[in-house]
Amino acid sequence: MTIGSRLRAERSRLGLSQTDFAALCGVAKNTQLNYEKDERSPDAAYLLAAGQAGVDVHFVIFGSTADGQTGPLDAFEREVLDYLRGLNDYDKETIRRMAYSMAEVTKLH
């Protein structure tokens, strides 16, 4: 994947048209199109605005998330993470141990 294709994927993930996304990032629709077609490269001001709009800028630039994943969280992962963030520390630790145990069992099969 290229920067343009990852940028397009992030825009789509956010459910925004090129026109709406371009406006959020302070550029014209044609500029957005050129970024997504890899005919131009976005500058820092654009990437900052994109990040504020919810884009995973690390993924757009490097092709992986800051934690090493190869893509942004999908809807299911975001939902589970939102639930996890709302738990107290004791319950978070319980979930961590449960997930570890389930992963270990999966490795055996």
pLDDT in tens, 42-98: 999 999 999 999 898 999 999 877 676 666 667 788 788 888 889 999 999 999 999
HEC states along the chain? CCHHHHHHHHHHHCCCCHHHHHHHHCCCHHHHHHHHCCCCCCCHHHHHHHHHCCCCHHHHHHCCCCCCCCCCCCHHHHHHHHHHHCCCHHHHHHHHHHHHHHHHHHHHC
The model carries a pTM of 0.64
Domains of the chain with CATH codes: 3-62 (1.10.260.40), 75-108 (no CATH)
Per-residue pLDDT at 70: 63
